[in-house]
């Protein structure tokens, strides 16, 4: 399992914003992943999508890595932010855009 952990760790630390999701940003395979993609696209944040459906080991590994039971999972600058509900609540409160800007991530959309 250390191989998958190393992979996850390198994705989390190697990308400013990374979304572990079911499917891809262009073709989400679940409603929750789709919602987070819509939010990130709406505010214009650059992010990398990692499809957990490509590997059962990856799907289980990300849950253990974050100690969070659900997918999608959003990481910003190596820090776990949350899943769909948390991201949606932060977005609706205008906190997500502020959080990203404070972390030095450029967003295009106004709050």
pLDDT tens track for 14-44: 999 999 999 999 999 999 999 999 999 999 9
Q: What is the pLDDT of residues 78-107, one digit of tens each?
A: 999 999 999 999 999 999 999 999 999 989
Higher pLDDT, 85 or 111: 85
What is the pTM for the complete model shown? 0.94
pLDDT reported for residue 108: 84
- Distance between CA 18 and CA 67 in Å, rounded? 17
Angle at CA of residue 24, ends 49 and 87, nearest 5°:
55
Its sign, for the CA torsion 27, 33, 56, 15, is positive
CATH 3.90.1150.10 matches 3-103: no
């Amino acid at each position: 399992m250390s191989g998958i952990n190393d992979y996850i760790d390198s994705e989390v630390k190697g990308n400013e914003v990374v979304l572990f999701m079911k499917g891809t940003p262009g073709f989400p395979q679940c409603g929750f992943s789709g919602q987070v993609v819509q939010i990130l696209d709406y505010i214009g944040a650059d992010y990398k999508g990692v499809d957990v459906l490509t590997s059962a080991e990856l799907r289980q590994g990300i849950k253990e890595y974050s100690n969070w039971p659900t997918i999608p999972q959003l990481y910003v600058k190596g820090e776990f932010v949350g899943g769909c509900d948390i991201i949606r609540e932060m977005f609706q409160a205008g906190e997500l855009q502020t959080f990203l800007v404070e972390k030095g991530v450029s967003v295009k959309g106004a709050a």
